[in-house]
Structure 1
Amino acid sequence: MRGRDRLGPVVDTVSNAFRTPDVEQPYAALGVKDDEYAQIREILGRRPTSAELAMYSVMWSEHCSYKSSKVHLRKFGELSQDTPRGPLLAGIGEQAGVVDIGQGYAVTFKAESHNHPSYVEPYQGAATGVGGIVRDILAMGARPIAVMDSLRFGPLDADDTHRVLPGVVSGVGGYGNCLGLPNIGGEVQFHDTYLDNPLVNALSIGVLRHEDLHLAFASGVGNQVILFGAATGGDGIGGASILASESFDEDGPAKRPSVQVGDPFMEKLLIECTLELFAAGIISGIQDLGAAGISCGTSELASAGDGGMHVDLDVVPLRDPSLQPEEILMSESQERMMAVVEPANVERFMEICAKWDVQATVIGEVIEGDRLIIDWHGETIVDVDPKTVAHEGPVYERPYHRPGWLDAVNANRAEDLPRDNSADGLKQSFVRVLGNGNVADKTWVTQQYDRYVRGNTILSQPDNSGMIRIDEETNLGVALSMDANSRFTFLNPYLGAQQSLAEAYRNVAVTGAEPVAITDCLNYGSPEDPEVMWQFAESVLGLVDACRELGTPVTGGNVSLYNQTGATPILPTPTIGVLGVIDDVTTRIKSAFQHPGDAILLLGETDEELSGSIWEAELHDGHLGGMPPKVRLDAEKALARVFATAAKERLLSSAHDLSEGGLAVALAESAFRGDVGFAVTLPGDDPTVALFSESAARAIVSLSGADVARFEALCAEHGVPVTRLGEVTDDQLEFVGRFSIALDEARDAWTSPIPAALGRA
């Protein structure tokens, strides 16, 4: 076997498979279950060749086929495909969703996970996660214009967090910065269950004209199949597809295929080359090669087209000439694309690739019939119906049930925990909440990202959401936010998923943009655990119902399962990306207090809702019990309408949503970012509730006293409650009649935890 074990004979042909039906094959080592292997044999009417087994193993993996989740995900397809700005131009099933934003422009956006590879090799795992999602955007015909990321790690003081976090952040920043794409937002969170199971969810957005939209299919008999970009290597063989389809054991991953190695400079060339190919009008179909590599590109293009495909694997450019055909098919080497091109356009295609120093090779053609045929050394090693590989794999209706232990968790309410409402007690609670890792300043992370490259960033971290100008003449723009509240989702998956969506929706709305569509990245433990599958099923139901109420269709996304070590799953983490449209970015609303003397108003209703809160976790040693706050979708929509009008009328100096940490954190962050103070009177009888409740559908604003009456009338028109809290001041954070703290003292409590924990204070 030329020095190491192989997946099968050096050349295992289709004819050989017929002759040797009883050859033992290492299907279990490739993650294929007994019944799946039997299903493959039934489909083929024989045993698979080694190459076919390799293809089925990666394409039927959890990461690629969604075999445990698709019965639930289909509910997203039942939603209306209309956004507030018109029908989707492309939705679920495409490489990324495409939304009409007006003026002939569309944007495409999508989130994906690269969780398991980022634990094995943090830098490359995170970097190639960014590279992969950018290519998905590119493949739709769009120019990528920005990225975001949602990151989850174990406790800040854990040794492995100190290994994983810096590598992941460096990978995200290094790859995105080299591509020249601004990183405009996201989040970083910490919890015990993410130790050994970090989450790296990357989002990218691109812009295109309506007529530039491209889809992934291979049609036209005789059209040529061209592989272009980087050469194929041994890195990433079975990487994301197999890593993301099995739990980690207590000592690390049960399987450690090599993680993909990224080259952002090659990707930058690939982007510019592909955009010029689009502009030349010579691409009939295109597919990014990410998870499952050539197996994915060939089977999905052929399956979605009107013919079959023949491929000669011998001509695939290799970085490692010793690779066997199975390995070539499974390799997830980065910076590769596959295009379908009419014969008359091949020469021009090659000229453009040569101009950008991008390697391009004709590896096959579209043929009559419905077969995907792949040859190696003149012998046929794959002869399959591509639909059975790409779209007709196993579908599992996994058993699920509500955990019996959840009743006790829900009964153990944070509202029943002791609270210290003395002046000293409130001040200490305020300082501790500001220093909680999930609230504390993330500048140590974001300063490693270029947020302003390309010159069209309007808002970025630490504002409520990122915002990008699309048209420099009309100032048309889009806003994006990524949010997940895993603590709420643990307490009630249905409501928690809705709260995650509501928070992202609210973050977009308070900038003045109109929320129009979502993408999601659903991160859960093992689907073989009925309690985990219940969390997943309930979360999907919650999102479907909330999207229907908010009028925001799901454009696509990603599911990441098997995020657990041994029997301990991560907290269920539905990461939601919300896209908003703003007609004039010059009207955007910042989150920082701007002017001493401005009035500060609280919008929305505050209830005694402390369960799942940062106050609960920080003041009560990680306690997590009770029920999440009430979901108020009507109130969220009303709030969004208020901000859309307030932005157009330029009524507000600032706006900040209320979420983690409640009013206390929103006030403090607005003050820190504006380098000013405030004097406010807390509403209600209980200052702990007023400060730290995480009731939904709330925001604070600051504005000139001259505009207060108009703004209050606007809120009344939309049924949004308004409470006047106080005003912006100079350098004290004063809670009148309760306690006060110097701006610098409070800011130090907020800025120091992450640098101190990582030894870089």
Structure 2
Amino acid sequence: MGLNADEYALILTLLGREPSYTELGMFAVMWSEHCGYKYSRPVLAYFKQYKEAMEGDGLENAGIVDIGEGLGVTMKVESHNHPSAVEPYQGAATGVGGIIRDILTMGARPIAGLNSLRFGPIRDGEGEPSVIERNRYLFEHVVAGIAGYGNCVGVPTVAGEVNFHPRYSGNPLVNAMCVGVLRLDEVTTAGATGTGNPVIYLGSATGKDGIHGATFASDALGEDNEAKRPNVQIGDPFAEKLLIEATLEALKTGAIVAIQDMGAAGLTCSTIEMASKGEVGMTVDLDLVPMREDDMTGYELMLSESQERMLCVAEKGREGEVLDVFRKWGLKAEVIGHVTDDGIVTVTRHGRIEAQVDPKLLTDHCPVYKSRIEEPEYFRRAANFDPSQLPEVDLRAALLKLLSSPDVASKRWVFEQYDQQVQTQTSLAFGAGDAAVLAPRGTKKGLALKIDGNARQAYLHPYRGGLLAVVEAARNVACTGAKPTAVTDGLNFGNPTYPHVYWQFDRAVKGIADAAEAMGTPVISGNVSFYNESDLGEVPPTPLIGMLGILEDVNQRVGLAPQSPTNLFLLEIAELEAGQAGLGASLFLSELHDREDGYPEAPFLDGERRIQQALVDGVAAGVILSAHDSSEGGLAVALAEIALHSGVSAALPEGPTLAAALFGEIPGRVVVGASDASKIESLATHHQLRLTRLGTYGSGEGLRLTLGGLDLAWSSEELRTAYESAIPQVMIH
């Protein structure tokens, strides 16, 4: 069950007796890392809003951002890593389904899905053939699972990212994010209240799938992965679509007092958390639970993680209104219990008490651990990386190699499997801009959405990696003209009992917290996933940032390339000093020199805030016609990505070396299109930013770069072949 001897002893002390088998299972899932956050809670206190929530009213399923006009946006990211390693299609599909229900139970209509995926290498020669084949299989079926569920449920998948690294072989990362819109006067709660109020089971019937899924997610994968298939739930997107419509309609009746998704830990989590949050008791008769097999035990019914299920508390006497709505939509709806005033959750099966516990024991008494922290040797060694000692490479060939790296190359093979336009609110889709932009109905405002993370940077310098993840995601939404507003995070790490892993986690979270505070983008929700390791060791630390930006007028949003021929400028932070020329922890170093070394450059937070504001102001004023930030692969890759839309000719500013000038990853650099030089100059001056005229866009074809007497050119066909064919050529059989 994943409990240790001390935890079992604590349960005996809290209960004053031996637990029943069902009670023990309930404690096991609620005290798992997945539900109890026992290793992460001390570190998450770095987040101001999380700390306030822990000390105050507690956290709901996802945070809410007020965007004005009486509207709010709610968003959250959730991992489904272990299920996806064992059963990739259903693991990914149910990850999408679960995060949609988290948004739904806030009273919000889900309007967008995003995802962040990590796999081992998929190119021949980068590992054992059997390992490469398995990675391709996982990649193919995870993407199919997201598409299969998202496309059927009617929520557009609008943005995402995919990266590859040898240490994700055997333990892929699958993080799903969902965004919803709601009226602020219609926010729902998960806290049960009202003695005598009926407790209602809603949605699909309960089966034997997904039992102990939360404890499965709180342990390392091992040789018995195949035996853990029963821990993976099975999703039904059509049932979820009905559940969305029925829930939103039932909430409008006003008869629902509280509602929660039956997510990790199923009925246990929803009954215990709702009772604990509302400081009430609850009786639950499991005989009344709709079940797929009538021989299910109380233990199985309480711990099953069957999908597309919710639990709600209705006003006494008005339960018929709720039941009628769900039954009209063809969904199961049954009263299975009542709210009590004794502060105890009592669960029965066949007239026998299966569990009788104070819910606070499971929610508030979960042990909290702080591991020893140890700075690893590789981190101290990376401080001495000297980019000037790198051997020279063919710079022309280097750009093509970077463009064909699966980390940079076009993800068209992925996103063409997703329905991006369902609900018809998508204003800027995959490949057109640095973030997706949605135009929600009922307002002229736009929502810019992005999920982003760089594990190479987070591994080599976790604190800077945390900082960079936030400022990069903020810069991406600002490149569309949106003001960065709020963050949801997905924190994926190895075993927290290892001192170097806990150090990575602590430093990365501190970086995220510091950057979020400086950017004015609070962390409003998130997820922690530990124990991501396989026989190859733990995965690289992978903190992911989901960023929301707000556009005052969605019609003003811009893409990464201009709509017509114009001038290109480099907008950058003047104060930044690049200690390792932007080549430490870079894609260039990894792809061209097969080295992971050095530190990523630290962002200058005050300058990041200024450049983001300059982008928002410049787009709103019509001065900035396009914006694309320079990140992985440096300025040459950013310009090549723009040149794929139409020809670019540019003279680059010089760097310490030619490689650094082309491929150095300097934070806080954005290539903007602008037709009026004097207006863009005054904008840069006003925000204390450096502006350099690079050249022209749309005056021919291909890419031409000049620097330091060097003249390099690539044809459109060369760029397109490298960029577009890299993933299809290994994935299309």
TM-score by length of 2: 0.95
Which of 113, 117, 121 is matched with 1:155 structurally?
Answer: 121
Question: In the TM superposition, what is the alpha-carbon distance from 1:416 to its structure 2 partner?
Answer: 3.2
Deviation at 1:755, TM superposition (A): 0.8
CA RMSD of superposed structures (Å): 1.7
Q: Deviations over 1:321-372 (max 9, x none)?
A: 2221111111000000000001211111111111111110111110012111
Distance in 2 (alpha carbons) for counterparts of 1:233 and 1:91: 34
C-alpha separation in 2, matches of 1:125 and 1:544: 30
In structure 2, how many angstroms separate the alpha carbons of the residues matched to 1:110 and 1:480?
A: 12
**After alignment, is 409-418 or 454-463 more displaced?**
409-418
Aligned-pair CA distance for 1:91: 9.6
Q: Are 2:575 and 1:609 equivalent residues in the alignment?
A: no
User: Which shifted more, 531-540 or 679-688?
Assistant: 679-688
Q: Distance in 2 between matches of 1:351 and 1:155?
A: 51
Could you tell which deviates more after superposition, 384-393 or 326-335? 384-393
Q: Deviations over 1:166-189 (max 9, x none)?
A: 100001111111111111111000
Instruction: Name which of 742, 754, 757 aligns with 2:715.
Output: 742
Q: Which residue of 2 aligns with 1:478?
A: 447
Q: Check conservation: 2:571, 2:684, Cα contact below 8 A.
A: no
Which one of the candidate residues 502, 505, 512 is aligned to 1:536? 505
1:464 aligns with one of 421, 434, 441: 434
- Please tell me whether residue 444 in structure 1 is matched to residue 444 in structure 2: no
Aligned to 1:108: 74
1:93 to 59, 62, 73: 59
CA deviation digits over 1:42-72, x for unaligned, max 9?
Answer: 1111111011011111111111111111111
Which one-letter code corresponds to 1:49 in the other structure?
A: S
CA contact (8 A) 1:238 1:257 kept: no
CA displacement at 1:739 relative to structure 2: 0.9
Q: Equivalences for 1:506-517 in 2 at 5 Å?
A: 506-517=475-486
Amino acid at match of 1:125: G
Distance 1:80 1:370, change over 3 A: closer
The answer (yes or no) to whether the contact 1:77–1:92 under 8 Å persists in 2 is no
Residue 397 of structure 2 corresponds to residue 428 of structure 1: yes
Question: Relative to 1, partners in 2 of residues 1:635 and 1:349: Cα closer, same or farther, differing over 3 Å?
Answer: same
Q: Which residue of 1 aligns with 2:703?
A: 733
Query: Distance in 2 between the 1:703 and 1:749 partners?
Result: 28
AA matched with 2:589? E
Counterpart for residue 648 of structure 1: 620
SS at match of 1:123: helix
**Which is further off, 321-330 or 131-140?**
321-330
Give, in whole Å, the separation in 2 of the partners of 1:178 and 1:659: 34
- 2:663 — aligned with what? 692
Match of 1:293 in 2: 266
Range that drifts further, 580-589 or 543-552: 543-552
Question: What amino acid does structure 1 have at the position aligned with 2:702?
Answer: Q
- 1:518-533 pair list within 5 angstroms: 518-533=487-502
Q: How many residues align?
A: 713
* Structural mapping, 1:261-660, within 5 Å: 261-414=234-387, 416-420=389-393, 425-462=394-431, 463-472=433-442, 474-566=443-535, 568-605=537-574, 607=578, 608-621=581-594, 623-660=595-632
Say if 1:111 and 1:203, in contact at 8 Å, map to a contact too: yes
- Equivalent residue of 2:317, what SS? helix
**Match of residue 637, structure 2, among 653, 665, 674:** 665
1:69-80 alignment runs, 5 A limit: 69-77=40-48
Shifted more, 328-337 versus 662-671: the winner is 662-671
User: How far is 1:415 from its partner?
Assistant: 5.1
Structure 2 counterpart of 1:699, which letter? V
Superposition deviation, residue 254 in structure 1? 8.2
Q: Secondary structure at the match of 1:448?
A: coil
CA distance in 2, matches of 1:216, 1:597: 53
Rounded Cα–Cα distance in structure 1 between residues aligned with 2:592 and 2:341: 67
Identity %, equivalent residues: 45
1:144 aligns with 2:118: no
Task: State the AA in 2 paired with 1:667.
Answer: L
CA contact under 8 A between 2:216 and 2:231: conserved in structure 1? no
The one-letter code sitting in structure 2 at the alignment partner of 1:556 is: S
2:571 and 2:316 mapped to 1: Cα distance?
A: 64
* DSSP 3-state at the match of 1:433: helix
3-state DSSP of counterpart to 1:381: strand
What does residue 677 of structure 1 align with?
647
Deviation of the 1:703 alpha carbon: 2.0
Counterpart of 2:86 (choices 112, 120, 123) is 120
Q: Distance in 2 between matches of 1:351 and 1:380?
A: 30
Deviation, 1:92, is 6.8
Amino acid across the alignment from 1:659: S
Shift of 1:392: 2.2
Instruction: Find the aligned partners of 1:395 and 1:597 in 2 and give their Cα distance.
Output: 57
The list of structure 1 runs, each at least 4 consecutive aligned residues, that deviate by more than 6 angstroms after superposition, is 79-82
1:579 aligned partner, one-letter code: L
1:229 is the counterpart of 2:200 = no
State the 1:757 CA deviation.
1.5
Shift in CA distance, 112/639, structure 1 to aligned 2, threshold 3 Å: same
Q: Which amino acid aligns with 1:155?
A: P
How far off its partner does 1:80 sit? 9.6
Report the AA paired with residue 687 of structure 1. Answer: L
1:253, CA displacement in angstroms?
7.1
Name the CA distance, whole Å, in 2 between partners of 1:725 and 1:279: 55
1:713 paired with 2:682, answer yes
Amino acid at match of 2:619: A
For 1:431, give the aligned amino acid.
L
Cα–Cα, structure 1 residues 105 and 644, in superposed 2: closer, same or farther, change >3 Å? same
* Residues in 2 aligned to 1:512 and 1:108: alpha-carbon distance in whole angstroms: 20
Give 1:266 deviation, angstroms: 0.1
**Where does residue 12 of structure 1 map in the other structure?**
none
Q: Which runs of no fewer than 5 residues in structure 2 stay unpaired?
A: 124-131
The verdict on how the C-alpha distance between 1:233 and 1:217 changes in structure 2, with shifts beyond 3 A counting, is same
Tell me which moved more, 746-755 or 253-262. Answer: 253-262
**Runs of 5+ consecutive residues of structure 1 not aligned to the other structure:** 1-29, 83-89
Confirm whether residue 207 of structure 1 aligns to residue 173 of structure 2.
no
Tell me the secondary structure at the aligned position of residue 383 of structure 2. helix
Mark the CA change 1:251 to 1:232 in structure 2 (over 3 Å): closer, same or farther.
closer
Residues 528-563 of structure 1, C-alpha deviation per residue, up to 9 Å, x if partnerless?
111101110111111111112111111011000000
| Cα deviation 1:454-492 (Å, max 9, x = unaligned) | 1110112122111111235x4112111111111111111
Q: Relative to 1, partners in 2 of residues 1:642 and 1:91: Cα closer, same or farther, differing over 3 Å?
A: farther
Q: 726-735 vs 289-298, which deviates more?
A: 726-735
- C-alpha distance in 1 between matches for 2:512 and 2:539: 19
* Partner AA of 2:613 in structure 1: R
